[in-house]
Copies of this chain bind each other. A is one copy, B any other.
Amino acid sequence: MRTDLRLVRYFVATAEDLHFRRAADRLGIAQPALSRAIQALETELGVALFIRSNRNVQITPAGRAFLGRAYEILSLMERATEEVRSAHDGRIGSLRIGYTDFAIAGPLPTLLKDFQERQPQITLKPQHGVTLTQMHRLAEGKLDIGFVTGPVSKDGYDQHPVQSERFVCVCADSHPFAERDAICLADLADEDFVHGNSTDWQHFYDYLIPLCRRAGFVPRIVQEAFNTAGILGLVSCGMGVTVLTEDVCSALAPGLVVVPIEDVTERLITSAIWRRDHVVGPTRHFVDYLQALPAPQHPT
Q: Residues of B contacting A62 with CB < 8 Å?
A: 84-85, 87-88, 93, 280-281
In the assembled complex, the Cα of A81 lies from the Cα of B63 at a distance in Å of 11
Chain B hits for A66, CB < 8 A? 80, 83-84, 87
Given the known interface contacts A47-B88, A51-B141, A84-B47, the answer about A61 and B280 at a Cβ–Cβ threshold of 8 Å is yes
Whether a CB of chain B sits under 8 angstroms from the CB of A65 is yes
Assess whether A181 is interfacial by the CB under 8 Å rule: no
- Interface pick from A69-77, A99-107, A184-192: A69-77
Q: Apart from A4-B5, A51-B141, A65-B84, what 4 extra A-B contacts exist at CB < 8 Å? A: A49-B84, A59-B141, A66-B80, A76-B76
Q: Binary interface profile of A, 46-71, with partner B (CB < 8 Å = 1, else 0)?
A: 11110100000011111111100110
Can you offer 14 A-B residue contacts whose CB atoms are under 8 A?
A: A4-B6, A46-B85, A61-B87, A61-B144, A61-B280, A62-B84, A62-B93, A64-B93, A65-B84, A65-B86, A65-B87, A65-B92, A69-B76, A72-B80
* Interface residue from B3, B4, B5, B281 paired with A60 (Cβ < 8 Å): B281
Q: Contact: B84 with A77, CB < 8 Å?
A: no
Assembled-state Cα–Cα distance A49/B83 (Å): 13
User: In the complex, what residue of chain B is closest to A278 when comparing beta carbons?
Assistant: B51
| CB contact list, A200-253 vs B, under 8 A | none
Which residues of B lie under 8 Å from residue A59 when comparing CB positions?
A: 141
Whether A94 is near chain B, meaning CB under 8 Å from some CB there, is: yes
Nearest Cβ in chain B — how far from A79, in angstroms?
7
In the bound complex, residues from chain B placing their C-beta under 8 Å from that of A90 are: 61
Could you tell me the distance between the alpha carbons of A90 and B46 in the complex, rounded to whole angstroms?
A: 14
Min Cβ gap A171→B in Å is 46
A131 to chain B, nearest CB (A): 21
Within 8 A of B (CB), among A19-66: 45-49, 51, 58-66
Contacts of A2 in B (CB 8 A): 5-6, 9
Does A260 touch B at the CB level, under 8 Å? no
Query: Which residue of B51, B63, B281 contacts A277 across the interface (Cβ within 8 Å)?
Result: B51
